[in-house]
Amino acid sequence: MSATQILLLYLVLFAIEYAWETLLELLNIKNVRKNQHEIPKPFRATTDDKTYKKSIDYTITHTKFGLLSSAFSSLFLLIIILSGALGAIDQYIASWRFGTYTHGVIYIYSLSLIFSLSSLPFSIYSTFVIEERFGFNKMTWKLYLIDMIKGVLLSALLLTPLLYALFWFMDTSGSLWWIYAFALFAAFQLLMVLIYPTFIAPLFNKFSPMEDGDLKEKIISLADKIGFRTNGIFVMDGSKRSRHSNAYFTGLGKSKRIVLFDTLVDSMDERELLGVLAHEIGHEKKNHIKKGMLLSMVSMALGFWVLSLLLPFTPFYQAFGFESNSYHAAIILFSFCSGPFTFFLSPLRSKLSRRYEYEADRFAVTATGGAEGLKSALLQLSKDNLSNLTPHPWYSAYHYSHPTLAERIAAMDNFAKSN
């Protein structure tokens, strides 16, 4: 293929992806508005009219803002590509006469900075205007800036040696460089899973072991009953940033732990919290974390292999304004192309994730002796987070990593009745 044909193919796929995702957002808004006059039957006992209308307003507001943000970011990317800015920035950095590896690191960080700054106003508006309007935001400007600085410094600390190592493999290891690069990044991913709960996450939040009491005793009893061993159950101070609530399982081996947002603990009773905990334990007992990591590594290996095929292909670089092949250009262009060339796989990833959620729900129903605790918890979570109760089926199939709330409730009821 010629450089012109490659660029044309990219632009066509980019337009298709943008049009498809925009269509899904519009269909979702239409479906929400179609159901705005009556609370869906599964939620009438737990959701009042005021909360339902507020959730609709929240969904529509976020969706419209997302459409604006997406339009801007897409247009900005096209301008960068079609204006020749990618090659021009590369040539400017080359004039500084750094070594090849340092040139590549500076180039990647420069583009990251440009795109981060372009999206910064949207992040600020979402946090301090939209989230504030709906009563969720508790972030201060000081905390926002501190988080940003910590994130930048942490990324630089972790990624810089990785990039130098990657460039070294690409430069010295011949056609099999991608295998060594994959092994390095797979090891790094495993390391991050191990150290994230104890070293990285505490840089941003405070994690306190759950206090002794009746609830903790019941949790320990539940864990013993289902044969679950963990490094602890921790409460995270999520409320210092947002009123949104959540729970998650993280870590491997001795570092594995269950984390509950303090907003979740404050808003739920013991039965509901036990249901949530049983669901999170279900993910671990069903090996969902390990399966997800395995799938991630397979995808990573395929990605490095494809990158190795593109690395010597000069028209690929010329299509996007580069004068010649380079390691850093290959990485940047691969990141630009991965979305338009693979977006059609998103429903498959989402479907697999939803299957895992159903499995964890069934595990929780069995472990707690019924569906009522987890059902009540999910209804409370939905209410507290102003979740969309009536997403369009196409939208949820494409985007949702979890089944819709109505689907989860129906599935749990059916499972409970059959067991």
Active-site annotation, residues: 280, 361
d(Cα 160, Cα 401) in Å, to the nearest integer? 31
d(Cα 281, Cα 223) in Å, to the nearest integer? 8
Strand partners, 258: 233, 249
CA 345 to chain centre: 16
Phi, psi of 337 (to 5 degrees): -85, -20
Q: Residues 6 or more apart from 141 whose CB is under 8 A from it?
A: 128
List the structure tokens of 415.
């499972």
Phi, psi of 111 (to 5 degrees): -65, -40
Return the biggest CA–CA distance within the chain. Answer: 71
Contact 24, 395 (CB under 8 A): yes
List the structure tokens of 229.
């061993």
- Helix (H) or strand (E) holding 234, with range, is strand 233-236
Q: Which one-letter amino acid corresponds to residue 296?
A: S
d(Cα 41, Cα 56) in Å, to the nearest integer? 16
d(Cα 108, Cα 242) in Å, to the nearest integer? 32
Contact 60, 29 (CB under 8 A): yes
**Beta-carbon count within 10 A of 90 CB:** 23
d(Cα 205, Cα 193) in Å, to the nearest integer? 17
3-class DSSP state for residue 124? helix
List the structure tokens of 296.
């991630």
Any idea how long the chain is?
419
